[in-house]
Amino acid sequence: MSSRSAISPSRRLRIERVPSPSRSATAVVSALSFVLALLCGGIILFLAGENPIQIYGSMFSGALGDWNGVAETLVKTTPLLLAGLGVAVAFRMQLWNIGAEGQLYLGAIFATGVALFLIPGAPGWVMVPIIVVASLLGGGLWGLIPGALRAWFGASEIITSLMLNYVAILFSEYLVHGPWRDPQAFGFPGTPSLPASAWLPNWGATRVHLGLFFGLIAALVLWVMLRRTRWGYEIGVMGENPRAALYAGMPTKRTIVLVMALSGALAGLAGMSEVAGIGHQLQRNLSPGYGYAAIIVAWLARLHPLGAVLVAFLLAALTVGGDQIQMSLGLPAAIAPMLQGTILFFLLGGDVLTRYRITRVPGT
């Protein structure tokens, strides 16, 4: 019985949910979306008087054409992956944490503060674990606040986590302009350089650092946790059917707080890895929006931790490729984001098509 069609029989087309999208359909649609995006972007480039083939070629070779490009892509993969995992685990429980950006900043602030002021003289094998824990605590605290507000007061975590982003970013601005500013930087906003013991080791001569390893470990641990543990099962049930969780006597409120804290902790780790792995100081504009891109990573990965590895890598490649054409071909600055936007638009649109289908309703 389709009561929906009975209510609006005059509508000809209807979008309905596909019960369970098949894997092959998902793969085909994703590939097709990507091709369509390239075509569409190509048309725009052509109209703008550019050579699409040259531009695409340059993007590809910039991001994946040589080891340097791959390394740069892996550098960008790291924060996207960590923050994306954090978002994914919250989304699994239908907790819409869009505060990864702020949680990332808090992780960076905690790690920087500990390394600069608490234990500046510690050796690397003490320093690195401690700043990792500090960043987990910082990000976790920033995730815990909206989680607790949601659990006990029913406040929408969408709003609170978003607003806390501004608090975190502005707080970091205050620190780098004010009390934590490097006195020897001639007024440049930024903290002094971290002690070398806090620098994450690099892979050979590249900028790829230990943070990537953290990300891969985190993906693996989350995958096992969600699939194989009681806690992961509870998160799944609460996400799919909160009433069934109640029926089974699961501790819903506690889990909301813990999952939000875990989500924030992973984003905080991303912040630490940017500070200790790349900049070696806390500076302005630490993140160009990794925390928001993380939402796209989580969504395109269908909230799957291992999927997030792949998606974060592709999104990073898109970013690096975009930077590349801007620099090497001297294209207008708007071209790269336009292409990135087109590709994301088609991928997300295609994703909707695998989850829903459009059917014709017979009748009037």
Examine residue 237 and tell whether it contacts other proteins (CB under 8 A). yes
Examine residue 187 and tell whether it contacts other proteins (CB under 8 A). no
Examine residue 174 and tell whether it contacts other proteins (CB under 8 A). no
Whole-number Cα distances in Å, 83 to 156, 215, 236: 20, 9, 20
Which amino acid, 357? R
Q: In whole angstroms, what is the distance from residue 17 CA to residue 240 CA?
A: 15
Q: In the complex, what is the shortest distance from the CB of residue 304 to other proteins, in angstroms, rounded to a whole number?
A: 14
Q: Give yes or no for a contact between 341 and 44, defined as CB atoms under 8 angstroms apart.
A: no
Nearest to 151 by CA among 164, 160, 140: 160
Q: Return the number of other C-beta atoms located less than 10 Å from residue 229's C-beta.
A: 11
Examine residue 136 and tell whether it contacts other proteins (CB under 8 A). no
Tokens standing for residue 95: 């907790």
Q: Give yes or no for a contact between 363 and 47, defined as CB atoms under 8 angstroms apart.
A: no
Taking CB under 8 A as the criterion, the residue among 233, 299, 345, 356 binding other proteins is: 233
Examine residue 356 and tell whether it contacts other proteins (CB under 8 A). no
Q: In the complex, what is the shortest distance from the CB of residue 254 to other proteins, in angstroms, rounded to a whole number?
A: 12
Examine residue 4 and tell whether it contacts other proteins (CB under 8 A). no
Examine residue 18 and tell whether it contacts other proteins (CB under 8 A). no
| Cβ distance to other proteins smaller for residue 12 or 228 | 228
Taking CB under 8 A as the criterion, the residue among 34, 171, 203, 231 binding other proteins is: 231
Buried b (16+ CB within 10 A) or exposed e, 104-125: bbbbbbbbbbbbbeebeebeee
Examine residue 94 and tell whether it contacts other proteins (CB under 8 A). no
Q: Is residue 17 helix, strand or coil?
A: strand
Give the bridge partners for 17, in sequence order: 356
Q: Give yes or no for a contact between 73 and 314, defined as CB atoms under 8 angstroms apart.
A: no
Q: Which helix (H) or strand (E) holds 1?
A: none
Q: In the complex, what is the shortest distance from the CB of residue 311 to other proteins, in angstroms, rounded to a whole number?
A: 21
Examine residue 249 and tell whether it contacts other proteins (CB under 8 A). yes
Taking CB under 8 A as the criterion, the residue among 179, 183, 243, 362 binding other proteins is: 243
Q: In whole angstroms, what is the distance from residue 247 CA to residue 241 CA?
A: 10
Q: In the complex, what is the shortest distance from the CB of residue 113 to other proteins, in angstroms, rounded to a whole number?
A: 33
| Cβ distance to other proteins smaller for residue 7 or 13 | 7
Single out the segment in contact with other proteins by CB under 8 A; choices: 184-192, 242-250, 308-316, 347-355.
Answer: 242-250
| Cβ distance to other proteins smaller for residue 68 or 241 | 241
Q: What residue ranges bind other proteins (CB under 8 A)?
A: 1, 3, 6-10, 19-20, 228-231, 233, 236-237, 240-241, 243-244, 246-250, 364
